[in-house]
Copies of this chain bind each other. A is one copy, B any other.
Amino acid sequence: MKVVTTIQALTAEIQARKRDQQSIGLVPTMGYLHEGHLTLAKTARAENDVVVMSIFVNPTQFGPNEDFESYPRDLPQDTELAASAGVDIIFAPSVEEMYPYDGGIRIHAGEQATILCGASRPGHFDGVLQVVSKLFHLVQPTKAYFGQKDAQQVALIATMVRDFNYPLEMRVVPIVREEDGLAKSSRNVYLNEAERLEAPAIYEALQLARDSFLTNGDAENALMKAKAHIAAKTHGKIDYMELLAYPDLTPVTANTEQVLLATAVYIGSTRLIDNCIFNVKEGL
């Protein structure tokens, strides 16, 4: 495995692989790798000749009062983990290498960035789209891998790929779950024993809403059932629960083909997110 830190070195690698007609899988990360990242890398490994993982804590997606400086970094450990997952090239540039100029051009994520998790992070998704656009151009991947856990991020990147015709396939890797259905998260360790027993109700609620919507097409009713389930089974507080067209994140209409059902719930003081994406026409 190679670790490259400059655009010049990365470009030389990419051009050599392209010349040999190799397929390239890209796994963009901010490092401090956990099981979720490694699942993405292993999926990319199985589907491509070359796997490139970017490790870059992108300053433009952090707000002025957010934790850019203190965000955890551990390149030596990441290097070891990435190698074990079959990554061929790590691209770990400095901030100066990624942003040597600023000509003032920005990608604006639009309305769908201001709902769900974006409501509390203005500008966050603009920064995400900026760095993802740069990485797509630098790596020129055949396929790019993202985790479904960050559903809004996935929806926005899918929208950008579709509306700006990026020549790549976006692969959304499903959420990894505990045996009882709770979505895996580094935050789950903050739950006490009673909270941990309540937490699977979140995924149960999503499944109820999904089944209800597929049966009768009534989004409001589906959400009501899911919220009632969380109220009955937990002491939690719902931050949001939405059923939206995917990837546009607009209200569901008769023409909607894919749906995102997403929620954030406080169980005690721990905020847990979960979601599912499904085809409207798949039935039950």
Contact = CB atoms under 8 A, between A and B. Distances in A.
Interface stretch (A34-42, A80-88, A100-108, A221-229): A100-108
A164 interface: yes
Given A19-B21, A21-B19, A163 B102 contact: yes
A20 to B, nearest CB: 10
Q: How many protomers of this protein does the assembly include?
A: 2
B133 A105 contact: no
A138 interface: yes
A207 interface: no
Given A103-B162, A133-B164, A138-B165, 12 more contacts: A11-B167, A101-B159, A101-B163, A103-B160, A103-B248, A105-B110, A105-B160, A105-B163, A105-B164, A137-B166, A137-B167, A138-B167
Nearest to A166: B137
A56 to B, nearest CB: 13
Interface string A11-40: 100000001010000000000000000000
Nearest to A165: B137
Nearest to A111: B104
A108 B110 contact: no
B109 A105 contact: yes
A134 B21 contact: no
Given A19-B21, A21-B19, A108-B108, A134 B103 contact: no
A1 to B, nearest CB: 23
B165 A101 contact: no
Interface in A105-145: 105-112, 129-130, 133-134, 137-138, 140
B103 A163 contact: yes
A11 to B, nearest CB: 8
A7 interface: yes
